[in-house]
Structure 1
Amino acid sequence: MMEITFTLGVAFDSGVLRTGSDEIGHIIGGPVKLLNWLESQLGLQQPVVSSTSRAITYRSCLKQCDHPGQFFHDSFSVDPLGVAKALLDWRDSWYLAGWNGQSIGEPGSRPESISAIEAVAIDCVPLCEGQRVQSVLRALDDCTLTLNVVSCDSLDSYPVVWRLLLAKLGAIQTSIDYPLAPVETDLGRVQRKLDEGPSAEKLELNGDGTFLVVEAPSRAFSAEWVATRVPALGADKNVVSALLVQGDAAELDISIAARGLPTLSVSNHSASRPLMQVLPLALEMLWAPINPSHLLEFLAHPVGPLPSKIRTPLAEAVASQPGIGGPAWLSAIAQILGRVEEESESLIEAEKKKREISESIAYWLECEKYSPLPGAPIGVVAERVAAVKDWINQRVAQFHANDELPADLPIYYRATGQADELIAALHELEGQGENDIDSDLLRRLVHSVRGEGMARPDIRAEVASDLASMFTLADPAVFVSPIDSVIWWGADDARSIPRYPWSRAELRQLKLGGVELHDLNEVSEWRAESWLRPIRSATKKLMFVVHKDAESQHPVFDHLRSVIKDLPTAELQPHVQGQSNASLDSYSRYEMLDAVSLPRKSRLWALGSGVKIPKRAMESFSSLESFVYGPYMWVLRYPAKIRAGKILSVSDDNMLKGNLAHQAFEDYFAAFPDIASANSATAKTWIREHLRGLLPKQGAVLLLPGRAPERERFLSDVVQAIAILLEHLKQANVVSVEMETELSGSYVGGELTGRLDLLARKNDGREAIVDIKWGGANYRQKALEQSKYLQLAIYSALHRQSGGGIPAVGYFIIAQGELLVLNDNYFPNAVIVTPENGEPLQEFWARFEQSWKQRRAQLDQGEIEVNVAGTSIVEDLLFDEKGLRSEETYESFSEFGALVGWEADA
């Protein structure tokens, strides 16, 4: 039988810097790799069991042993899975420290409680690492393996059961042979100083660049710079380089790939890959009330079990009316089904596709919702997880059928594995007699099975024919071979060693019970020694890259400052910007470009000759308001057709509340058209109940936890408002009300359209137009006083043109319950507002048309006023005395702040 040599290291399971050639019969790795190899040789292979499954099983054991006197009782009642994970970690660490499951601890102590639970757990919880090592130890009593184990770390660096196993295997510790850098170099002098140990005299360096700390503003900044260094690092194939990457490193591979260079595959694991987010988002659809943000995320997600042609219209509906089942939702579904009809070749095919789409929408989105507590039936949840898995498998099958395998295909396999693991966990809960699972436990399970996610499979380590290879490693402890050049990127901080969660008395009880926990001081000493390995490994150059925005500094610098007088440090930003003459060898600088000034704000935009801005065929209040008061805004919105980016967000502001109230009012007057017999008390009850039905469909954000006070204020405001509005209508002897009346007509510039919120009519035929707003009573009153009521003037003109005579006009403010009427006693108890200039509405309309003609003439001459803050008035652009009052600035609700220029000092 071939003799095997296993080179072992505490941290070698994460990879190892190995510059020598591979040898037959030589294995190198960490404890996990050695344990797996030993089990395979001894016939002790264990089935792969997820940490989630083990935690759920241990949770069952805790549940069996739980009672009010247990130390974990209160926490367990709140977070059973979290407690199970924590106590399972305790148990597993004790087995690594030599525990065999026997009773330990004094009566009533926490160790004694864990021991009592172990009497149940030992036969049902899958083996932990410590138990597996103990099984190997027992098996070795009856057989012998031809194996030489050489450890690069002290044997005392391993947990006690590993020490017993290594002793049984006859393991020996080998010293790491680090050839030192030349003595005349800073690097060589630092290495020798570290070997000498502490001394009163600190080392003074020459600054020759062989030992250097580079300080960058951020990881993104230094990643760009390191990416420019890759060609230089690999230019000499006789120089072998290593990159030690610690912390978030995604920017580094992105920067390298952006330059078309071979990637190093240092991206971190992530659970945020789009495919891996589908499962948790799909499960969020089970809870009531529905969270519109989660619903929008599910619909706007790049991938999902519903096709994008279904998700996109529904996402837009949810953004405008947050909920399921409202008018926008139903309209979107009708639009989707209508498109299917148009695209289908036959009526039978269309009906089949429409039925399938309707069933899919109903299954994924309109399904039965469950209260977060007590939760959803486990069978329902497991069935939904299986449906997500089936969808993923269908996509994979489609990839294979089309012979188009994407680079991220491994993510699909990982996602199905996560689904399987979650289903197994759910079945485990069922086997323990659980019927329902609450939302919090389900989210914890999903988080548990997803873990840290996975790295991008389409970013892998690459090599190029003209570049030398580069080692990329994540742990300083794996630097056990000489390497020419080392860059320690992200040498900012280090994870602290957590203290044991047990008291001194409990630690004594554990020790008496045979649990020999690692001395934390020894662990700290080993960690500190491992931090020096990259320094000792480098033979020509060592560079630390640190970042100013890091929360702390790596402890290795405390050690270095204890032996070095001044650490040579270079600021990276001045160097790359060409503002420093400090030499960083051949390290690249960015190409400096001449600064270009941002355009300054100007009150007047002048179009080139021959550029004409055409009239629009149809205008409305919203477009005419910007045309008259802020023509630059009208030009950018309509002729230029510039739109804000379509990043959907859930409507959650006063506009949403106004829309809900408006819908409730419209539905009320449709249900109770007889104003004379309307009863305020009945109306208040009806509106409150009706709004409660509208909220899940159009305002579900107000149903979310924590929004109850705001929701009740909203309901109270609307309920009071309908009563106040009804009283005004009855006092005015109004006999009928119409809402959402659409009118069309004309003005001096062309065609005009508008939609009236509320049109009231008396017995004598006289009518009033009321525009309903959510809030802003003071603002609306001032607008009436200052003759800034273009919207009401437009509605009045359209009404007159339709043969309705001259109506009364005003605003009803819901939140304040106020009715403001312009210079008319149509409503006896309304607030009657008379404009300061005393003009009637018809004169205002004439002034508006005069101002429109002046704006049109300016546009025809190629002049556009940009009346924004930071500009000076241009007299020639002001309205004449026959027009409206010019606005010095007009930029409320403008989406063009970045297009109108910048201040001179910006």
Structure 2
Amino acid sequence: MRIEFGWSLDGTAWADGTGARGAARMGPRSLVQLLQNRLGLTRPAVEPAVRVAQYVRLVEEHLASLPDPSAFWPARSFAVDPWSTGRQLLRWRDEAVATGWRPSGVEGPLPERLAALRDLEQTVVVGTAGTLAPSPADDLAELIALLEGDAATWPLGIEEVALHEPAERLPGRWPHLFSLLTAAGVDCPVLPAPEAGAPALTVVEALDEWSAADVAARYLAAPAAPEDGPLTVLAARGTDVLDRALHRRGLPAVGHVEPSTDRAHHQVLGLFLDVATAPVDVHQLAALLDLRVLPGADGDAEPVGLVPAAARRRLLRALGREPGVGGPAWREALGQIAADGPAPAVEAARAVDRMVTDPLPAEGLRPDLLSSRLDWLVERLRAVARGEGELLATLTQVRTLQQVLGMLDPSVPLARRTLQQVIDSCGGSGPSPRAVREVADWAVTTRPAQLRAAGGTVLWWGPSAEELPAAERWDTAEAAALEAGGGRVLDPAAVASLQVDAALAGLRGARRVIAVLPGPFAEEAPGPSGLLAHLEAAAGAERLSPESLIDGDTWTLAGRTLPVTAPVEEHGEPVPPLERRIAPAPHLLPERLSYTQAASLLACPQHWALEYALDVRPAEVAALPTGARMIGTLVHAVVETLVHEHAHPTPEQIGATFDALVPQLASELDLPGRAAERSEVRERAVRSLGALFRGLADAGLRITGTESRFSLPLTLPLAVGPHTVTFRGSRDVDAVDAQGRPSVLDLKWSRSRTRYGDLFDTGEAIQLAAYAWTVAQEQSLTEPAGVGYFLLRSGEFVSADPALDPRRRTPMDVEDAWSRMLAGITTVLDEVASGTVRAGCRALIEEAGLGAGATWAQHAKAVTAARTTARAAGGLLVEDHCAGSEYAQLCGLTGDRR
């Protein structure tokens, strides 16, 4: 066997694993692995996180053996951050061993860093069954020890190892290894240095990655010139955008997308443990329930979730009703799953329930408890993996974490930061699903040192600051101590020069180099490439822009040309007011109607048609209550509970009820960092609800019901004939005065202190009108019930009753508001039945002559004018806020006008 060895040759150019003379091209790691195989030294691979855990345990044992642990140099750092400290000590240890240092044979005082390593090394037994799994440096030391002994006479099956760099330039014990190979009969000649050349250089600098991708893709698509020679693509940065440009031209992708720890399958473990740790974040829980880990078995099948679909849907629906765990909605969902769900769904629901109803305490994350919580995750991943690489990587990550947790002291809880460090160490980095290499007419490599252009052409995509391996820096005293212990320490600059010289040699072997600079990536400008600067200084080339490559209808770069055609400028017709015209659709008429539906119907018929008539809605995980909606639901529930339990609740009773309902209805308020917000909401709730109960008592009103359900027939006089719907919903607070006259209060948690007063005063509070109509229908009233709002956030009433609201408001004409509301509903439903569906928000903006990017003040002015016009015509305007909804993009509106 013949081998070409270079310090930078680990890994190979794609589809190019052999050298020019038919020899295998290998770097340090590849050669060590080959020799291990030949000498019978191979062993199972060990995850880096496991080695760190082993070293952390060694440090703990060493500290426990010392009379005064503080005398150990890194003791203070280890007490604060054991994982990072152990990992750093292990890295120093491996670097020291790589120099050839033998700490066991060193006597006398040493610099602090090396003294700590020597103390720890006294208990280290390197090997798969030892106290520390071997590093590449240990593998090299084991090879050298074996070759120094009887193995020197063993047949290695290697005739020649041709060196790209003289052995004496290599760091550590590598020169000694090659001397032993020579003694074993392996010829180790030094390859002659390539003739120094200066390739013709062309540099194209773009302002963005897309323009640069077009330049590179056009060059690869253009016919090659005979003098170009073999073409190599040097992908120095990710080619995701370039690959898309190539596919648009029918060319194969390069497929170089950088690995990342942010790939989807690396998020499963962290998300799972976040949910398993108190306090439970319901949004993280919803994300875990909704997590899809595999595509469906065929194109139409639903993706496979971590939690089976039968459990996922019901649990997410429960969280949508009550954004917390342990409440009635959660228990009802668990009961339904247990009653009719398949076995995997039942098991998953029970596992999730155990995890969130008995979460691990944030300050008591013991390794053994953490490991036991992962058992269900392991079983579920194994059940659905189906041999899929990414999911198997997740399974490996979980098993590695369990192995690491098993090495740690079970009696010492882990800090959240330490646990996250352990998870990150176990995860590694994953490939992108778009990192697909396709057969092409050109060779591909990702490092200049791998180039073997042999007088051909190199298309250099994305040259930037070179990331050279960071060599450990030892100070003068440490270097002397290492050499006294048998080590060989090179200057870091000498080690870096091995990489730089190999890269320059690869680039200089080309006849022509075309460098394409894509500009900023992820909003960060790449650092300048030292290699490119070196070539530019030698060639004196000027940088070109993508625009300068086009002359008339011809695009030219480095001898290759393509015809180009400028697109014809087109001027679109003015966009008419947005209106959906469909076939007559009486089947879309509703059978049931609530106030929320009615308001949506009046404000934006398109929104109503999508959400209610066609049932096009956001996924449950996206509709989880939060913010003002969540707090409003919570405070409503507090009122309901207090009415049933206390006739005249005290502030203490209000606060206790609030605290009891937060985990069920607003558990996110218990998350770290939300204490101030929770306290502010609680204080407002206690103060405002106290004002609610006092105000009602002082006004002589007695509460007779909360969340009173109603379901009444309502006949609408449509053009197609009378249409009866079921009008249903619930009233927040029902009350009666001393004379038995009923009243209805609607509770609102709103930042605005004027909006609902304005609706009341202008007779447009159609929600109150609707509630008054339901009370009149239920009780056969001859006079309408009293109506009003109570603003939960500010603790104020909006009412015509002066005992409640001192503003002396004029009583609202609820019958007039109800009739205008019915007239508006009838008009819209007639339009829907005839096949016209308007986008209300967009129509309002266009009628006011505003664009989609109008300011909030302009929009508010337009709404005020439209309300005035509608009121003068005997109608009403319901303002729509769908610019902040999930349907905004369908009518060209984005952003939130609220």
When normalised by structure 1's length, the TM-score is 0.80
Given candidates 807, 813, 826, the residue that maps to 1:840 is 813
**Letter in structure 2 aligned against 1:558:** A
**Letter in structure 2 aligned against 1:787:** G
**1:335-374 alignment runs, 5 A limit:** 336=337, 340=341, 356=347, 358-363=349-354, 365-366=355-356, 368-374=358-364
CA displacement, residues 745-795 of structure 1 (integer Å, 9 cap, x when unaligned): 537555433321111234532222111111232322233233331211111
CA displacement, residues 309-331 of structure 1 (integer Å, 9 cap, x when unaligned): 32233234435643322344345
Of stretches 584-593 and 545-554 in structure 1, the one that deviates more from structure 2 is 584-593
Structure 1 residues 416 and 742, CA gap change in structure 2 (3 angstroms) = closer
Match of 2:680, SS?
A: helix
Other-structure match for 1:117: 120
**Letter in structure 2 aligned against 1:141:** E
Q: Is 1:781 paired with 2:757?
A: yes
Following the alignment from structure 1 to structure 2, what is the Cα–Cα distance between the partners of residues 893 and 19?
54
How far is the alpha carbon of 1:703 from its aligned partner? 1.5
Given candidates 11, 14, 17, the residue that maps to 1:14 is 11
CA displacement, residues 725-761 of structure 1 (integer Å, 9 cap, x when unaligned): 2212222333333111122353755543332111123
- After superposition, the CA RMSD in angstroms is 4.1
**1:666-677 alignment runs, 5 A limit:** 666-672=640-646, 675=647
Structure 1 residues 163 and 690, CA gap change in structure 2 (3 angstroms) = farther
Following the alignment from structure 1 to structure 2, what is the Cα–Cα distance between the partners of residues 746 and 560?
82
**1:600-749 alignment runs, 5 A limit:** 602=576, 605=579, 615-630=589-604, 633-634=607-608, 643=617, 648=622, 650-672=624-646, 675=647, 678-680=648-650, 684-743=651-710, 744-746=712-714, 749=717
Other-structure match for 2:102: 100
Following the alignment from structure 1 to structure 2, what is the Cα–Cα distance between the partners of residues 833 and 641?
44
Q: Is 1:809 paired with 2:790?
A: no
Q: Is 1:759 paired with 2:748?
A: no
CA displacement, residues 563-616 of structure 1 (integer Å, 9 cap, x when unaligned): 3333342327x8699998554655668876556667756557595897889754
Other-structure match for 1:490: 462
Structure 1 residues 652 and 585, CA gap change in structure 2 (3 angstroms) = farther
Q: Is 1:444 paired with 2:461?
A: no
Q: Is the CA contact (8 Å cut-off) linking 1:215 and 1:569 kept in structure 2?
A: yes
Following the alignment from structure 2 to structure 1, what is the Cα–Cα distance between the partners of residues 359 and 268?
18
Q: Is 1:419 paired with 2:398?
A: yes
Q: Is 1:318 paired with 2:330?
A: no
Given candidates 793, 796, 806, the residue that maps to 2:769 is 793
Q: Is 1:128 paired with 2:118?
A: no
Match of 1:495, SS?
A: coil
Tell me the number of residue pairs that the alignment of Structure 1 and Structure 2 aligns.
831
Q: Is the CA contact (8 Å cut-off) linking 2:10 and 2:30 kept in structure 1?
A: yes
CA displacement, residues 792-843 of structure 1 (integer Å, 9 cap, x when unaligned): 111112211222632221111222122221x224xx24344525xx763334
Structure 1 residues 727 and 232, CA gap change in structure 2 (3 angstroms) = same
Following the alignment from structure 2 to structure 1, what is the Cα–Cα distance between the partners of residues 357 and 887?
41
Of stretches 235-244 and 749-758 in structure 1, the one that deviates more from structure 2 is 235-244
**1:31-70 alignment runs, 5 A limit:** 31-66=28-63, 67-70=69-72
Of stretches 246-255 and 486-495 in structure 1, the one that deviates more from structure 2 is 246-255
Structure 1 residues 275 and 819, CA gap change in structure 2 (3 angstroms) = same
Other-structure match for 2:501: 529
Following the alignment from structure 1 to structure 2, what is the Cα–Cα distance between the partners of residues 867 and 410?
51
Following the alignment from structure 1 to structure 2, what is the Cα–Cα distance between the partners of residues 427 and 12?
37
Following the alignment from structure 2 to structure 1, what is the Cα–Cα distance between the partners of residues 50 and 866?
78
Following the alignment from structure 1 to structure 2, what is the Cα–Cα distance between the partners of residues 575 and 60?
62
Q: 5+ unaligned residues in a row in structure 2: which ranges? A: 64-68, 183-187, 294-304, 718-723, 850-861
Other-structure match for 2:66: none
How far is the alpha carbon of 1:85 from its aligned partner? 0.8
Match of 1:90, SS?
A: helix
Other-structure match for 2:309: 308
Following the alignment from structure 1 to structure 2, what is the Cα–Cα distance between the partners of residues 94 and 604?
72
How far is the alpha carbon of 1:92 from its aligned partner? 0.8
Structure 1 residues 77 and 589, CA gap change in structure 2 (3 angstroms) = farther
Match of 2:70, SS?
A: coil
Q: Is 1:150 paired with 2:162?
A: yes
Other-structure match for 1:344: none
Q: 5+ unaligned residues in a row in structure 1: which ranges? A: 181-189, 192-209, 341-349, 400-404
CA displacement, residues 604-644 of structure 1 (integer Å, 9 cap, x when unaligned): 75958978897544433233334445556556655676656
Structure 1 residues 646 and 554, CA gap change in structure 2 (3 angstroms) = farther
**Letter in structure 1 aligned against 2:277:** W
Structure 1 residues 592 and 811, CA gap change in structure 2 (3 angstroms) = farther
Following the alignment from structure 1 to structure 2, what is the Cα–Cα distance between the partners of residues 220 and 544?
12
Given candidates 226, 232, 238, the residue that maps to 1:248 is 238
How far is the alpha carbon of 1:885 from its aligned partner? 5.5
Match of 1:777, SS?
A: coil
Match of 1:285, SS?
A: helix
Following the alignment from structure 1 to structure 2, what is the Cα–Cα distance between the partners of residues 478 and 21?
11
**Letter in structure 2 aligned against 1:671:** E
Other-structure match for 1:410: 389
Following the alignment from structure 1 to structure 2, what is the Cα–Cα distance between the partners of residues 637 and 355?
31
**1:135-214 alignment runs, 5 A limit:** 135-142=142-149, 143-144=152-153, 147=158, 148-170=160-182, 171-177=188-194, 190-191=198-199, 211-214=201-204
Following the alignment from structure 1 to structure 2, what is the Cα–Cα distance between the partners of residues 622 and 26?
76
**Letter in structure 2 aligned against 1:830:** D
Of stretches 218-227 and 63-72 in structure 1, the one that deviates more from structure 2 is 218-227
Given candidates 475, 483, 489, the residue that maps to 1:517 is 489
Structure 1 residues 851 and 902, CA gap change in structure 2 (3 angstroms) = closer
Of stretches 70-79 and 661-670 in structure 1, the one that deviates more from structure 2 is 70-79
When normalised by structure 2's length, the TM-score is 0.81
Following the alignment from structure 1 to structure 2, what is the Cα–Cα distance between the partners of residues 358 and 863?
42
Match of 1:244, SS?
A: strand
Following the alignment from structure 1 to structure 2, what is the Cα–Cα distance between the partners of residues 609 and 288?
54
Structure 1 residues 852 and 385, CA gap change in structure 2 (3 angstroms) = closer
**1:75-86 alignment runs, 5 A limit:** 75-86=77-88
Of stretches 99-108 and 157-166 in structure 1, the one that deviates more from structure 2 is 99-108
Following the alignment from structure 1 to structure 2, what is the Cα–Cα distance between the partners of residues 233 and 77?
64
Q: Is the CA contact (8 Å cut-off) linking 2:702 and 2:737 kept in structure 1?
A: yes
Of stretches 534-543 and 758-767 in structure 1, the one that deviates more from structure 2 is 534-543
How far is the alpha carbon of 1:333 from its aligned partner? 3.7
Given candidates 87, 107, 123, the residue that maps to 2:89 is 87
CA displacement, residues 333-387 of structure 1 (integer Å, 9 cap, x when unaligned): 45545664xxxxxxxxx8x788656544445x446311122214x3343334343
**Letter in structure 2 aligned against 1:797:** W
Other-structure match for 1:395: 384
How far is the alpha carbon of 1:178 from its aligned partner? 6.0
CA displacement, residues 700-719 of structure 1 (integer Å, 9 cap, x when unaligned): 22121111111121222222
Following the alignment from structure 1 to structure 2, what is the Cα–Cα distance between the partners of residues 416 and 632?
45
Of stretches 227-236 and 417-426 in structure 1, the one that deviates more from structure 2 is 227-236
Q: Is the CA contact (8 Å cut-off) linking 2:883 and 2:893 kept in structure 1?
A: no
Following the alignment from structure 2 to structure 1, what is the Cα–Cα distance between the partners of residues 331 and 572?
46
Q: Is the CA contact (8 Å cut-off) linking 2:208 and 2:519 kept in structure 1?
A: yes
Match of 2:123, SS?
A: helix
**1:279-290 alignment runs, 5 A limit:** 279-290=269-280
Other-structure match for 1:204: none
Q: Is the CA contact (8 Å cut-off) linking 2:288 and 2:306 kept in structure 1?
A: no
Q: Is the CA contact (8 Å cut-off) linking 2:463 and 2:515 kept in structure 1?
A: no
Structure 1 residues 236 and 256, CA gap change in structure 2 (3 angstroms) = farther
Percent of aligned pairs with the same residue?
Answer: 20
**Letter in structure 1 aligned against 2:714:** S
